[in-house]
Amino acid sequence: MTTVGFIGLGIMGSPMAAHLVNAGHEVIGFDVVPESLTALTEAGGKAASNVAEAVTGAEVVITMLPNHPHVESVVLGDDGVLQNAKDGILLVDMSTIRPESSLAIAEAAKAKGIRVLDAPVSGGEAGAKNAALSIMVGGDAADFEAAKPLFDVLGKTVVHVGPHGAGQVVKAANQLVVGGTYALVAEAIVLLEASGVDAKTGLDVLAGGLAASRILDLKRESMVARQFQPGFRIDLHHKDMGIALAAARQADVSLPVTGLIAQLVAAARAMGHGSLDHSALLKVTEQLSGRG
Ligand code: NAD
């Protein structure tokens, strides 16, 4: 049994923390929105009233926060993890943030004797709820092995992909593929409907052939029905496309399709759809053809 401080109990963090409790770990959670702690306490975990309270007695601290400013303030801030956690603990950041922020956090933590892994996830809300996430982990191999039993509670595909920041680079690659797939499924729906072909029937065929994908499996029905409650918010995917483009610049490579997808996601946000699921890219595609 491990004592886990869990910071950030939103769409993803809430079911993940509950799985850790159900696996027998002691979990003390904190979120700035107190209602977010309900699922954790109902599962048998404890609610803390600030970061310090959540991490003081922890052996492992997990953060699942929106973006790098949140992670930096929770970890590096005056009342944050590094100020309050015991020496030698393991800090596992499962948020999706810029690789360079993961590197900076690992460096700052090292000075305090705290080990760090960047461990972003893929699989969405369904993956979090079903403990079926893909987890891509950057950091030292020994620290990965130490955290593996916890990762195995949360995910099905758990891979050590390289040193600090490597997990975030793999996640950036994941997000450009996911964004591109949504954009093309949206175009398929617009084409089918504008041609008078039933979109659901058409996508059912696609899902059984070479065009098959997890996104077609999980989302084709809700997209055709225009159900866009998140899931994964457009605002967060906009953040992730920024991370992907910055990582491309850092690596000195040109990713033209990623650039286009980033603009489509930015358009969805500019149209006011930031709080909708990323499958709402369909709204942008429809608008481009005057069908919105
Ligand atoms: P979310 O907005 O639902 O949850 C984030 C939580 O962090 C919120 O409950 C918020 O109140 C809390 N928070 C913010 N600042 C805080 C602070 N200073 N201290 C404590 N709590 C704070 O987001 P989410 O969808 O759960 O995503 C979390 C991370 O996981 C993001 O980086 C996202 O990109 C990534 N992610 C999300 C999904 C998905 O499908 N939702 C999938 C894979 C990865």
At 42-80, the pLDDT tens digits run 999 999 999 999 999 999 999 999 999 999 999 999 999
Percent residues over pLDDT 70 in the chain:
100
pLDDT of 292: 82
Ligand 1 center to 11 CA (angstroms): 7
CA distance 120 to 81: 19
Task: Summarize the confidence of residues 257-271 as an average pLDDT.
Answer: 98
The predicted-structure confidence for 147-180, as pLDDT tens digits, reads as follows 999 999 999 999 999 999 999 999 999 999 999 9
CA of 248 to the centre of ligand 1 (A): 24
Q: How far is the CA of 142 from the centre of ligand 1 (A)?
A: 27
Residue 148 is a catalytic residue: no
Quick count: other Cβ atoms within 10 Å of Cβ 291? 11
Q: What is the pLDDT of residue 172?
A: 98
Catalytic, out of 86, 110, 148, 171 = 171
Read off the pLDDT of each residue in 82-92 and give the average, rounded to a whole number.
Answer: 97
Per-residue model confidence (pLDDT) at position 75: 98
Task: List all residues whose CB is within 6 A of at least one atom of ligand 1.
Answer: 7-13, 30-33, 36, 64-66, 70, 73-74, 95-96, 121-122, 124-125, 231-232, 236
What's the burial of 97, exposed, middle or buried (CB within 10 Å: 0-12/13-18/19+)? Answer: buried
Evaluate the omega torsion of the peptide bond into residue 231 and state whether it is cis, within 30 degrees of 0. Answer: yes
What pLDDT was estimated at residue 18? Answer: 97
All domains of the chain, ordered by start, with CATH? 3-164 (3.40.50.720), 169-288 (1.10.1040.10)
Neighbouring residues of 143: CB distance < 8 A, sequence distance ≥ 6: 90, 115, 116, 117
